[in-house]
Structure 1
Amino acid sequence: MTLPRTPSFRLIGKRALVTGATSGIGEGCAVALAEAGAHVTLVARTAAAVEKQAAAFQSNGWDAAALPLDISDIAASEAAIATHGPFDILVNSAGLARHSPAVDTTQPDYDAVTDLNVKAAYFLTRAVAKGLIDAGKPGSLINISSQMGHVGGIDRAVYCATKHALEGMTKSMAIEWAPHQIRVNTICPTFIRTPLGEQTLAIPERRAWIEEKIKLGRVGEVADIMGATTFLASDAAALITGTHLIIDGGWTAD
């Protein structure tokens, strides 16, 4: 009798690009991919920070390189991908939030959030996909979205708008690039204990709202995202594209 075998979660020989890689969710995703055996190119705006991060990875025996880059500079991003790619895996974790009541939203805040969360994500994902298509290679492209890409949130009209846009973008790209065996998915975390998340968690009434909505009764940790990242990047997720993996402790189950 021939029994089925579990596809590998290992990423040996794969090249990954991770944005926002020096802290929070991006850092966790980069570690997860490196632990699975991928060569990880770490992207962040500050050269000193990303080079320090690459050195820390290398000291752990992981294969990593630093790429200082502001992904909101579309031309620079496309040039960097063309020079350093193709990348088998993308984790687009760079993001921005500027929360306020919708009636108080300023145009500069709106532009800053949408330029990074939507425009930069769109063109970076496109650049990585183009490199794979030109090389005739398959790939797994992962956008870090949010549970707020599926619901609304207090003082989060702009942020929610960008994450809903990211979900639609991901589905459309997945359909378009499926013939090239390029998979495109999102990971949608709830509130995660990161420097960005702590800004909200420090407000008692917001924390109470969050803890009431998360059915498992706790705020997320970066480690809660890491296994999902390895899974979606690996052959274990070979038939998964155009969808989202919600890691929200049951928030959106209502």
Structure 2
Amino acid sequence: MNINFEGKRILVTGAGQGIGRELALRLSKYKGEVFALSKTEKNLDSLVTADPKIQPVCVDLRDWDATRKAIQNILPIDLLVNNAGVACLTPFLDATPEGFDLTFDVNVKAVLNVSQVVAKSMIERKSGGSIVNISSQAGQAALKDHAVYCASKGALDMLLKTMALELGPHNIRVNAVSPTVVMTEMGKLGWSDPQKAQEMISKIPLGRFAEVDEVVDPIIYLLSDRSSMINGACLLVDGGFVAC
């Protein structure tokens, strides 16, 4: 599939490492003008070293006002990927208000904030656009020790549906990619124990975790005009886990 993002201004949050980093590099390779957002300056420095065309945006997404200002400074944005996420993994009975607030601030509230700024600009410009949220199989299936994380991704999926409903008339498509475990740094937090990992893999019909490129590819597709009639979809990239 020949996809070209030339002339498109693209914002990727959580672009300092993992899926976000690889996505930013791929989008730049496909000739998009990429803005990479992260709160960690050294990660952004590493990314820009790898591809000097990428423009870094250093801000903590938990800071509502600073985030809005940072996004407004790089408008207009044509395509948005809300990739930033955190995982505070504890048993349900051990979940804390601090972990809950951190998880929902980044995984849900920041998506609302960033998307509001970008979508309002798209509407003013009458340009249309595409927004892709990075969710998780955890938004559709309960996982042990993931109570708060699962709740945040379930909330994100419903936010996606209402965004698609309200922004669709402005020709702004909103979709999600929902992967199974990917062994990024965040993935290792929950699944680095071989026994626990094998228990999860045994429930995935394809018998393995996802590779980063297998998540990046569908994001690229949903951003592109090749998916022009897809809106409000949560695309599972889970090897069949939720089907079982």
TM-score by length of 1: 0.92
- 2:43 corresponds to: 49
Structure 2: distance between partners of 1:98 and 1:46: 18
Match of 1:152 among 142, 167, 173: 142
Q: Is the 8 A contact 1:33 1:229 kept in 2?
A: no
Find runs of 4+ consecutive structure 1 residues off by over 3 angstroms: none
Structure 1 unaligned segments of length 5 or more: list them.
1-5
Q: Could you tell me the percent identity over the aligned residues?
A: 37
- 2:77 corresponds to: 87
Structure 2 unaligned segments of length 5 or more: list them.
none
Counterparts of 1:160-175 in structure 2, within 5 Å, are: 160-175=150-165
- Provide, for residues 30-85 of structure 1, a one-character-per-residue CA deviation record: whole Å limited to 9, x for no partner: 12222222111011002232133123112xxxx31111111111111111221211
Aligned-partner residue type, residue 167 of structure 2: W
Q: Is the 8 A contact 1:29 1:91 kept in 2?
A: no
1:251 aligns with 2:227: no
- 1:192 corresponds to: 182
- 2:192 corresponds to: 202
Match of 1:113 among 100, 103, 110: 103
- 1:97 corresponds to: 87
> Post-superposition shift, 1:166?
0.4
Match of 2:126 among 118, 128, 136: 136
Number of residue pairs the alignment of both structures matches: 244
Match of 1:31 among 15, 25, 48: 25
Q: Is the 8 A contact 1:41 1:67 kept in 2?
A: yes
Q: Is the 8 A contact 2:17 2:43 kept in 1?
A: no
Deviates more, 1:197-206 or 1:243-252: 197-206
Structure 1: distance between partners of 2:35 and 2:45: 11
Aligned-partner residue type, residue 223 of structure 2: A
Aligned-partner residue type, residue 143 of structure 1: N
Counterpart of 2:132 in 1: which secondary structure? strand
Structure 2: distance between partners of 1:139 and 1:161: 28
Match of 1:76 among 66, 69, 87: 66
Structure number with greater CO (CA < 8 Å, separation at least 6) is 1
Q: Is the 8 A contact 1:170 1:186 kept in 2?
A: yes
Match of 2:173 among 174, 183, 186: 183
